A and B are shown apart, each in its own frame.
Chain A
Amino acid sequence: MATTITSLGNKMPLALTLGGLGAAITASNGGIFYSTASVGALLAGTATANQILQSGASAAPTWSTATYPATTTINQLLYSSAANVIGGLATANSGTLVTSSTGVPSILALGAQQSLVGIASGTPAVAYIPGLNRVLNGDFQVWQRGAGGSASFAVSASTTVYTADRWQVSVGASTATTVAQTAGATSGSYLCKVQRNSGQTGTAVMYLCTSLTRDMCVGAAGNVVTLSFQAAAGINFSPTSGNITVTVYSGTGSTDISGRNGAFTGTASPISSTQAITTTLTSYSFTSSTLGSTVTQLAVQFSWTPVGTAGTSDWVEFTNVQLEVSANQTPFQQRTFVNELLECQRFYYKTFLYGTAPVQNAGVGTGEIAGYVSIAAATTNFMPNIRFPIQMLAAPTITTYSPAAATAQIYNESASAAFTATTVFHSTATDQVVYGTGSAGGTVGQAIGLHITADVDVT
């Protein structure tokens, strides 16, 4: 060995090409050998753990400033958890990457039918995708059959009547009841209040229910539905434990049903639950079993059994009733009044102003159909044909109202005289035609008027 070194003479330090380093190297603990263009070199060791070696392109390598974890956890993303510190971002199942208002990332888990909602200056949040509410007038905005927003119905014992649009109430003997629209806690929100009148002694089951036409049920067959609503009870609400029964009926018939007396075929109750109602307005939600694959009909019913003699607050009120094809409750689908009214007018329409309950002798200039006498004296005169705001479910049943007399006749407003024999000549889903026999003294050109209601709801 000594002989070999002697033979190299002044060739020390030994060049790279001869197997040496070509340079005098100073040792560094943890250093890394590398090569320059001509000689070997040493990158000094670093006192900081977990730095990694980085290429200097065609120059000397360096230690990274950032530190990296020695190990990682499955499914975690690596990110800068602090300046020059690479760490793992905790994972979550079925989630998405979001950041906070200061840019800090995290994984936000999303449940079924949830979506991401942006928050101004905050971390995005999850929210349920609003479902399509199959129930019309679930927030009890529309009361065409009454005096609009101040509607209150005196429901006689042993009757079934429509009250709020699309909602019918049924009560038994000795159960005279008042059904009214009441204002909710927030502007523009309403409830339907059903009150067994004070002193009534009837204890038969009371019902509040609505039905869906077959086209409103499309998509429900073979799926689950969720019914949600809000309810509160008066301090004298008399049913045992304040219980009501919440039912969703389904059927497979080929007829559009109406309320609880509808022509169901193959009736089932995919939701049938008992719920205690308290004096505090509370949200409730019920999810059905899977509906049959041939379901075409659905109806929602609330029922309760009063006990004893009614006190002064034997009532229950409901709002935000929603039936959706979903396994989850989603936020109530708030429709505008105009849209809700138009949807309801598929089933019921009146020529009266919205705030006027249909009645004989409501007054001239109250929205009646206006025409003129075209043939004098006691001869047949037709009222102008009017077309309904929306095509109705079927050709509706028409009831006529005189605007200025206690009859149901066309009224000659110029002569202040009622027609006779006012008759609906035809009614279709889009229009109706009425005629009558003019008053004896009627002359051509005199103004005539008539109110009507058009109704396809069956109690």
Chain B
Amino acid sequence: MDYVYYTLKMANGAATSTMIYRLPDGAFIPLDPANGHYREHLEWIKAGNVAHEFSSPDDARAHHSAGA
């Protein structure tokens, strides 16, 4: 399956979090080098792809659906 990755930067009051959001399966990937999906995302970036940044998965899905 060909995946596309997005960066989700989220804020809840003073708390912030960054996750990688993978489409089309909608998986949330933590920034943990021990997580193999995160390593696959790094390989995807290394291959020249760009993980666009959004603040919600809905926005990322809309971006993905638009084929942007």
State the A residues within 8 Å of B (CB): 159, 256, 258, 263, 380, 393-400, 408, 420-428, 435, 455-458
Contact of A408 among B8, B22, B26, B34 (CB under 8 A): B26
How many Å lie between the Cα of A156 and that of B29 in the bound state?
24
How many Å lie between the Cα of A398 and that of B37 in the bound state?
11
| 6 examples of A-B residue contacts, CB within 8 angstroms | A396-B30, A397-B37, A421-B56, A423-B28, A427-B30, A455-B27
Chain B 22-46, CB-CB to A under 8 Å as 1, else 0, gives 1001111110101111111000000
A423/B8 contact (C-beta < 8 A), A398-B27, A399-B27, A458-B40 known: yes
Q: Interface size class for chain B?
A: 20 to 34
State the B residues within 8 Å of A (CB): 1, 8, 10, 12, 15, 17, 19, 22, 25-30, 32, 34-40, 56-58
User: Are the C-beta atoms of B36 and A458 separated by less than 8 Å?
Assistant: yes
Q: Which of A397, A399, A435 is most buried by chain B, counting CB atoms within 10 A of its CB?
A: A397
Interface of B is mostly: mixed
Taking the closest CB of chain A, its distance from the CB of B65, in whole angstroms, is 14
User: Are the C-beta atoms of A394 and B25 separated by less than 8 Å?
Assistant: no
How many Å lie between the Cα of A420 and that of B59 in the bound state?
11
How many Å lie between the Cα of A427 and that of B20 in the bound state?
11
Give me the 8 closest cross-chain CB pairs, A-B, nearest first: A458-B36, A394-B34, A424-B28, A395-B30, A395-B32, A421-B56, A427-B30, A398-B28
Taking the closest CB of chain A, its distance from the CB of B50, in whole angstroms, is 21
User: Are the C-beta atoms of B57 and A421 separated by less than 8 Å?
Assistant: yes
Q: Which residues of A contact B29 (CB under 8 A)?
A: 397
Q: Which residues of B contact A256 (CB under 8 A)?
A: 34, 36
Q: Which residues of A contact B39 (CB under 8 A)?
A: 263, 458
Q: Which residues of A contact B38 (CB under 8 A)?
A: 397
Contact of B30 among A263, A422, A426, A457 (CB under 8 A): A426
How many Å lie between the Cα of A258 and that of B17 in the bound state?
27
User: Are the C-beta atoms of A399 and B35 separated by less than 8 Å?
Assistant: no
User: Are the C-beta atoms of B30 and A423 separated by less than 8 Å?
Assistant: no
Q: Which of B37, B40, B56 is most buried by chain A, counting CB atoms within 10 A of its CB?
A: B37
User: Are the C-beta atoms of B40 and A423 separated by less than 8 Å?
Assistant: no
User: Are the C-beta atoms of A397 and B56 separated by less than 8 Å?
Assistant: no
User: Are the C-beta atoms of B30 and A435 separated by less than 8 Å?
Assistant: no
User: Are the C-beta atoms of B10 and A397 separated by less than 8 Å?
Assistant: no
Q: Which residues of B contact A424 (CB under 8 A)?
A: 19, 28
How many Å lie between the Cα of A425 and that of B18 in the bound state?
8
